[in-house]
Amino acid sequence: MNKLLNIKNFLLLLLIVITISACGYRPSAKFSRDALGEKISTSVIISAQDPENTVIIKDAVDRAIIEVFQASLVSRITSDTHLVLTMGNPSYSPIVYDANGFVVGYRMQVTLRIVSHHNGTSKKYSTTGFHDFAVAPNAIVTDQDRFEAIGFAATRAIRSFVAQVSAEGARSGK
């Protein structure tokens, strides 16, 4: 009886392994690389109203290109795809209050407009990222808190962009 259970468990495990290995799974980074190429360049249009945040966005985008797309950052001349990013005005709003009515949590929202130039064609994307962060009751949001929240929200917006591009790559069958 015990031997029969071991054989059943082995066959079940074998069936699961065969099913998973035969399903054709490909990571989303593969689809996005197929859609955008291996070499990507970026530029961020500087906001006259909020130039400090432009640097944060540029850094977040470059990190996401390397980490999420698993692509190389190169100069525009040698790139397969050039991404031009424009950031809308970041906004934060209170989302959590303590028992005394003081704000103790905020949500940062960053909207990015992205134009992708690839193989002579341009596509426009719009994506939004959020980041929730806590502050001490009756405290002012410091510039450091604000910059960090913008960076995290921008990274989420870029990840949303990656999801959009990956979905397009998967639909195109590349």
Domain boundaries, the chain: 2-172
DSSP string, 119-172: TTEEEEEEEEEEEEEE--TT-PPPHHHHHHHHHHHHHHHHHHHHHHHHHHHHHH
The CATH H-level (homologous superfamily) assignment of domain 2-172 is Lipoprotein like domain (3.30.160.150)
Whole-structure pTM value: 0.73
One digit per residue, the tens of pLDDT, for the chain of length 174 reads 556 557 777 778 777 777 766 556 566 566 666 677 788 888 888 777 777 777 777 887 788 777 777 778 888 889 888 999 888 888 889 999 999 888 899 999 989 999 999 888 899 999 999 999 998 887 788 888 888 888 889 888 888 888 888 787 777 665
